[in-house]
Chains A and B, each alone.
Chain A
Amino acid sequence: MIRFSQVSKRYGATVVLDGLDLDVGQGEFVAVIGRSGTGKSTLLRIVAGLEKPDQGTISSPDAVAVAFQEPRLMPWLTVGANVALGLREKSRATAALAEVGLQDKAEAWPLQLSGGQAQRASLARALTREPQVLLLDEPFGALDALTKLEMQALVGRLWRDHGWTVVMVTHDVDEAVRLADRVIVLGDGQIKLELPVPGRGPRRPDDPDLAGLGQELLKALGVTLA
């Protein structure tokens, strides 16, 4: 579905991606983790068509939707208008808002929404585009712990229902193992570790198998636990 071959990207003297190879299969949920500045977001922006690689090739489908860390709702349009923006059939927006549990917020202004609600609206907008690939760029990074758990469950459910291919960039190791089929650790512009996660997401946050995986990932990230 998505294929990176020998992709390199640099900003000035900084090499962000250095001959990266990556395959993401149809319907697969891949989480990408890594320390700040390891090119996670660049990888995502390349798939979204917002950046061009300096070297290498990438193939990915046209129908891509993105949920960014900031929901990017235009404050001057109502929530419903934001979700429907650019759509021919506006009724799809109503259905999508209902699917994320925001059916009564269509007439609200984005500034009246809580962080979690705004992120739901952003997901609803992604839904209406009927994408093949959904890209998530640290979508829950700014949310409180409880809302975050709810949103993870929502994304997991939507992924199952719609059969999307998902690439999610995150800082959160627990989030990665909870949702993904495969977790990739980026470092020095390449894949440092690839870890399949058994079972199918969304998993329960207190699943005992996840703790071991999480620790392995943290080790690969160079985090030492006391």
Chain B
Amino acid sequence: MSSATSVRPPAPTSASSKASSKVSGALLPWLSPVAIVGIWALASNQGWISERTLPAPGAVLAAARDLTADGTLPEALGTSLSRVLLGTVLGVAFGLALGLLSGYSRLGELTVDRPLQMLRAIPFNALLPLFIIAFGVGEPMKVLLIAEGVLIPVYLNTYAGIRNVDVKYIELATVYKFSRRLVAVKILLLGALPSILTGLRFSLAIAWIALVTSETVNTTSGIGFVLVNAQRFVRPDQVVLCIIVYALLGVLTDWLVRLLEKRLLRWRSGFTGR
């Protein structure tokens, strides 16, 4: 073994080991989810868990295949994704605007902060009945419920991020007579960006929860509709499938925000863990 490694030329070895460590670095976090599925498969196989409580991974896969073949799953996915996307865009836009307003000006803080802090204290499923009465059971209600959930963390983190920007930079802006727009965008918003992106990650997690909440009432489309139907027709395989789809979508959106962070926060040299 040792003779085999010593024969290899050193340079390509280090290059390839670097590449392989990059791949293994990306795959490593998936080790524990795969292990959980393995244990699940084993438990089902051995009959430790009844098929009625938790169907085997194979059954869930079969359900995925069937629902994809008849078009149910792709259509539901598309519908749900567009709801989340629309709600998130709306929530982020308003959260950023309100956060900038109350972060930048004391008058703004005085006007919008207290109502938003109160809104934050209300669980959004408590808002659901009101939203249904106000906006009906159609798309606007769903999108607005998601937007409301998204708005809160984006607002809070924009506001807190701006208030954390060092006053030294504002002094600099005073000396050099920067315009308000410049201060708002290049100093406050960019300075608050790490905090805003953290808010965005919280927001997206909430977006999916809001989606489930809104899709499980009076809905005729989306993943939530598939889930409710599966429950009604006692199809635990489809129920589990929907849950897994939600989980994967959550991981996917989190990954997208991380990608965004990597791109936008290149300037940072923070601690990355030992």
For residue B186, give the distance in angstroms from its CB to the closest CB of chain A: 6
**In the complex, residue of chain A having the shortest beta-carbon distance to the beta carbon of B191:** A76
Q: Is the CB of A85 within 8 A of B191?
A: no
A110–B166 Cα gap in the complex (Å)? 15
Q: A50-B174, A72-B168, A109-B266 are in contact. Are A86 and B179 (CB under 8 A)?
A: yes
Residues of B within 8 A of A75 (CB): 267-268
Q: Is the CB of B190 within 8 A of A77?
A: yes
For residue B120, give the distance in angstroms from its CB to the closest CB of chain A: 27
A191–B168 Cα gap in the complex (Å)? 28
Q: A66-B175, A76-B190, A77-B190 are in contact. Are A86 and B182 (CB under 8 A)?
A: yes
A72–B176 Cα gap in the complex (Å)? 13
A65, A70, A110: the one within 8 Å of B175 (CB)? A65
Most buried by A among B175, B187, B190, B265: B175
Q: Which of A97-134 contact B (CB under 8 A)?
A: 109-111, 125, 129
For residue A220, give the distance in angstroms from its CB to the closest CB of chain B: 30
Q: Mark A68-90, 1 if CB is under 8 A from B, else 0.
A: 10101011110000000110000
Q: Which of B147-182 contact A (CB under 8 A)?
A: 168-169, 171-179, 182
B168, B171, B267: the one within 8 Å of A111 (CB)? B267
A64 within 8 A of B: yes
Q: Is the CB of A68 within 8 A of B266?
A: no
Residues of A within 8 A of B178 (CB): 85-86
**In the complex, residue of chain A having the shortest beta-carbon distance to the beta carbon of B177:** A86
**In the complex, residue of chain B having the shortest beta-carbon distance to the beta carbon of A50:** B171
**In the complex, residue of chain A having the shortest beta-carbon distance to the beta carbon of B267:** A109
B14 within 8 A of A: no
B269 within 8 A of A: yes
A48 within 8 A of B: yes
Q: Is the CB of A74 within 8 A of B187?
A: yes
A198 within 8 A of B: no
Q: Which interface class (under 10, 10 to 19, 20 to 34, 35 or more) fits A?
A: 20 to 34
Q: Which of B173-222 contact A (CB under 8 A)?
A: 173-179, 182, 186-187, 190-191, 193
Q: Which of A22-67 contact B (CB under 8 A)?
A: 48-50, 64-66
Most buried by A among B168, B173, B182, B186: B186
A48–B227 Cα gap in the complex (Å)? 65
**In the complex, residue of chain A having the shortest beta-carbon distance to the beta carbon of B189:** A76
Q: A49-B174, A66-B175, A72-B172 are in contact. Are A85 and B186 (CB under 8 A)?
A: yes
For residue B155, give the distance in angstroms from its CB to the closest CB of chain A: 21
Q: Is the CB of A50 within 8 A of B175?
A: yes
Residues of A within 8 A of B173 (CB): 86
Residues of A within 8 A of B191 (CB): 74, 76
**In the complex, residue of chain A having the shortest beta-carbon distance to the beta carbon of B179:** A86
Q: Is the CB of A68 within 8 A of B168?
A: yes
For residue B67, give the distance in angstroms from its CB to the closest CB of chain A: 45
Q: Is the CB of A72 within 8 A of B190?
A: no
A48–B269 Cα gap in the complex (Å)? 32
A2–B177 Cα gap in the complex (Å)? 19
Most buried by B among A48, A74, A77, A109: A74
Residues of A within 8 A of B172 (CB): 66, 68, 72
Q: A48-B175, A77-B190 are in contact. Are A70 and B168 (CB under 8 A)?
A: yes
A42–B152 Cα gap in the complex (Å)? 41
Residues of B within 8 A of A49 (CB): 174-175
A residues near B (Cβ < 8 Å) are: 48-50, 64-66, 68, 70, 72, 74-77, 85-86, 109-111, 125, 129
Q: Which 3 A-B pairs have the closest CB atoms?
A: A109-B267, A86-B178, A76-B190
CB-defined A-B contacts under 8 Å, sample of 24: A48-B174, A48-B175, A50-B171, A65-B175, A65-B176, A68-B172, A70-B168, A75-B267, A75-B268, A76-B190, A76-B193, A76-B265, A77-B190, A77-B267, A85-B178, A86-B176, A86-B177, A86-B178, A86-B179, A86-B182, A109-B267, A110-B267, A111-B269, A125-B176
New A-B contacts (20) at CB < 8 Å, excluding given A72-B171, A86-B179: A49-B174, A50-B175, A66-B175, A70-B168, A72-B168, A72-B169, A74-B169, A74-B190, A76-B190, A76-B191, A76-B193, A76-B267, A77-B186, A77-B267, A85-B178, A86-B182, A109-B267, A111-B267, A111-B268, A125-B176
